[in-house]
Amino acid sequence: MAHTMIQLRAMRLKAKDQRTMPQIHSLPRQGILPMLSFFLAFIIFHHADAYDPLDPNGNITIKWDVVSWTPDGYVAVVTMNNFQMYRHIMKPGWTLGWSWPKKEVIWSMVGAQTTQQGDCSKFKGNIPHCCEKTPTVVDLLPGVPYNQQIANCCKGGVVASWGQDPASAVSSFQVSVGLAGTSNKTVKLPRNFTLLGPGPGYTCGPAKIVPSTTFLSSDRRRKTQALMTWNVTCTYSQFLARKNPSCCVSFSSFYNETITPCPNCACGCQNNNKCIKSDSKLLSMVGVNTPRKDNAPLLQCTRHMCPIRVHWHVKLNYKDYWRVKVAITNFNYRLNYTLWTLVVQHPNLNNVTQVFSFDYKPLVPYQSINDTGMFYGMKFYNDLLMEAGPQGNIQSEVLLQKDKNTFTLKQGWAFPRKVYFNGDECMLPQPDMYPFLPSSAHVMDSLKFTTVATVLLSVLVAILLSE
């Protein structure tokens, strides 16, 4: 009897659960698919906003070190460290902004300056350097007087990537802040940090108090520390930087005469009406190569309409090695690319034997996978990619050793999986457009026909001789 009662209770609970449970299977299919598509797109773009799978730990960290107190505020050294492996800040350099939480002013700066002074009319006698509620700071240019410099300043805002040149991947300035707190408990941290490097794309988090930075004396026998330190972390998203790619990739090979070009309008065709043909007389005008304040490009007319094209050519095939030629072409008449970087993902980059005209460094974001490498220019040789024109290209060759267990030229294996230029992913052609190996079917048919004909001729000759 007790067993029967337990069964009845279990059946009632199950029926109740079925009545209260949402009946997903009863929803119309046209209602489920949009929901799934929305959530899938949300997940992809939410995680892709500021995450680079080839540089998962890359970011720019801004550190504020309060080094002394003043009667109405403090003096701080602000240091910007670029921990990105292959994304640098090129000319015209970085621009840093924030909002003051109270009525702070900037009395003076060393190694940088604000772009606007703001309304300082309420001050008598000493006039602050900046009275803006949201100051905008830029680096000083090289060659300023020594009394306006500190270490790692005055490079025009140009900051190298960590993987390319760690010593140049830092920028600093000193700021004296007034009308602020004069102790660790009364100082209010700046808010709403923004970073342009030099264009959009960076998103900065809130300032966070961290353990005070320690400094070593010149003789390395004494340690001092900052009175207070806070950090701000900024991450990059290509989706925020621009709507379209900024580069494209084309392919060719020794075993196929067909060249696979960049896709049409790979970087968008919004500049179609403003482009200039390579033989136009307008290129001889004075000032055509001068950059504009808004960094508007002046592109050469092409099918892809990209400022940068990367060409990957499979050049030679040896017994134990194979050879690739890489060429980068600039189609922007108004921009030189300083400290350029090229990142390639390819399975055979784990066996790079020699790179002839570029510097090369393997990138191993995941220790078990070695399929990504960074190419960049040699200092004072080809680290500057000139604007579009006869000098607007650089090239090198790469020798790779074959892995007999994985090496093949079939099905596009010889071409890269991903290509980045200056930290932005380039658009590749569709896989079915890659240069393919010539079909051997007709060759085999010819061999079979020749073999059969030879056998028949031999039989006929034997018959004739026997008669």
CB 152 within 8 A of CB 107: no
Name every residue whose Cβ is closer than 8 Å to that of residue 147 and which is 6 or more positions away in sequence: none
> What is this structure's pTM?
0.80
The predicted structure's pLDDT at residue 31: 47
**pLDDT of 269:** 87
Question: In sequence order, what DSSP letters do the residues of 152-219 get, joined into one string?
Answer: T--STT-B--TTT-GGGSEEEEEEEEESS-SSTTT----EEEEEESSSS-EEE---EEESPPEEE-TT
- Residues 429 and 261 sit within 8 Å (Cβ to Cβ): yes
- Cα dihedral sign, 206-207-210-213: positive
In this chain, the answer to whether the domains covering 59-240 and 242-278+297-433 adopt an identical fold is yes
Fold of 242-278+297-433: Immunoglobulin-like (2.60.40)
User: What pLDDT is stored for residue 50 in this prediction?
Assistant: 59
pLDDT of residue 188: 95
In which order are the strands placed within the sheet that holds 393-401? 256-260, 247-253, 308-317, 321-330, 393-401, 352-355
- Position 172 scores a pLDDT of 97
Peptide linkage before 56 cis (omega within 30 of 0): no
Local mean pLDDT, 10-residue blocks, the chain (467 residues): 46 46 41 42 42 88 97 97 95 95 96 96 94 97 94 95 95 96 94 94 96 91 95 95 93 92 92 83 76 78 95 94 96 92 94 94 82 93 92 95 86 93 95 81 40 53 55
Structure confidence at residue 457 (pLDDT): 55
CATH T-level topology, domain 59-240: Immunoglobulin-like (2.60.40)
CB 332 within 8 A of CB 389: no
| Domain residue limits, the chain | 59-240, 242-278+297-433
